Amino acid sequence: MSATVPRAASQSRLVRLGLDRSVLIAFACIVVLLAGGALYSREFLSPEYLLQQLQISAFLGVIASGAMLVILIGHIDLSIPWTVTLGAMMATAVAGWYGTPGEVLAIPVGILCGAIVGLVNGLGVAYLRLPSMIFTLGMNAVVQGLMVLHTGGSAPQDHATDAMHFLAVGRPVLGIPNALFMWILVGAGVIFLLNRTAFGRRVYAVGNRERAAYLSGVDTNAIIVGCFVLSGAAAAFAGVLLAGYSTKAYQAMGDSYLLPAIAAVVLGGTNVLGGRGNYLGTIAGVILITLLQSILAVMQMEEAGRQIIYGTVIIAMLLAYGRGDLHRK
């Protein structure tokens, strides 16, 4: 028994640092996609094209950052699509309603609205003990209804603020998109939270075995609520950035990000049952998903073909990781 515990602790440290097979597989697939894309088009490896892909990855990366925290505790957040839309619409609406003061408050209000959705999700899952898949799906429908009422069923007329546009598309430092810096900041925060704080250690503990964590003195409900709040805030912040990228908010702008965000986290090696995963893997998963989508778009493949290849690659990578890795608790 005494030899097993140190070995398990050592393996846990390696997993958190990203030194596991799933991360290596994900990065190997990225190299394969880059090589394949370069064979199809010489422009695929150009610095400008790669920066553009990283900029697009940043929006998905911010969403996946929050989604990963929820998956690590063994739950799932299906309210992401309309939380993204909520953050974008409320940020632009506040700017339109209140003029200059609204422009200052637009981004914080958008993120706060997402955090509120996450708070409701967390309370429902933690204290009412409702299945996260069902409860968050219901919240997604509620937020959708509220946004339809807010806009009258049409696209809102309020435009993104200059600050939102700057954070999403500005390139003041060496031509690197500001959106990428936003993802780096969010990612650094998640890495610090998971690896350097008591909250992070408790996230892994709850994900491994919630009852055991509770009996050891962990406030498991607080951890669950906190992860959902952070997921909602991250999704809303991504919505703010997307509104800045497209210069306005619009209906259902987050619908296309739910499956890619969850897929990126899982493809990066995070256990879908919780308790195991690292942010380096999520980074690899986000870049992998973005490159795959880009290659299929460049090849001008029909939507049906894209979905078939997209799903096949995800299934193949999950099989490559092995059922033992994905279901080990």
Amino acid at 194: L
Q: Determine, yes or no, domain membership for 15.
A: no
Q: CATH no. for residue 84?
A: 1.10.3470
Chain position carrying tokens 């955090």: 115
What are the residues whose beta carbons fall under 8 Å from the beta carbon of 250, sequence distance 6 or more?
88, 155, 156
Residue 118 lies in a domain: yes
Residue-level pLDDT, tens digit, the chain, 329 residues: 444 434 444 444 444 444 577 788 888 888 888 888 778 777 777 888 888 899 999 999 999 999 999 999 999 999 999 999 999 999 998 887 777 776 888 999 999 999 999 999 999 999 999 999 999 999 999 999 998 887 776 656 568 888 999 999 988 888 889 999 999 999 999 999 999 999 999 999 999 999 999 999 999 999 999 999 999 999 999 999 999 999 888 888 999 899 889 989 988 888 888 888 889 999 999 999 998 888 877 777 777 776 777 677 767 766 766 554 544 44
Residue 102 lies in a domain: yes
Report pLDDT for 13: 46
The CA distance from 227 to 283, in Å, is: 19
Q: Report the alpha-carbon distance of residue 224 to residue 308 in Å, rounded.
A: 35
Inside any domain, residue 14: no
Could you give the CA distance from residue 245 to residue 278 in angstroms, rounded to a whole number? 28
Domain-embedded: residue 16 = no
Task: Assess if residue 17 is contained within a domain.
Answer: no
Residue 220 near residue 206 (C-beta atoms within 8 A)? yes
- Could you identify the residue written with the tokens 């937020």? 143
Contact 238, 63 (CB under 8 A): yes
Domain assignment present for residue 152? The answer is yes
User: For the chain, what is the domain count?
Assistant: 1
Range of the domain at 161: 22-322
DSSP 78: T
256 is a domain residue? yes
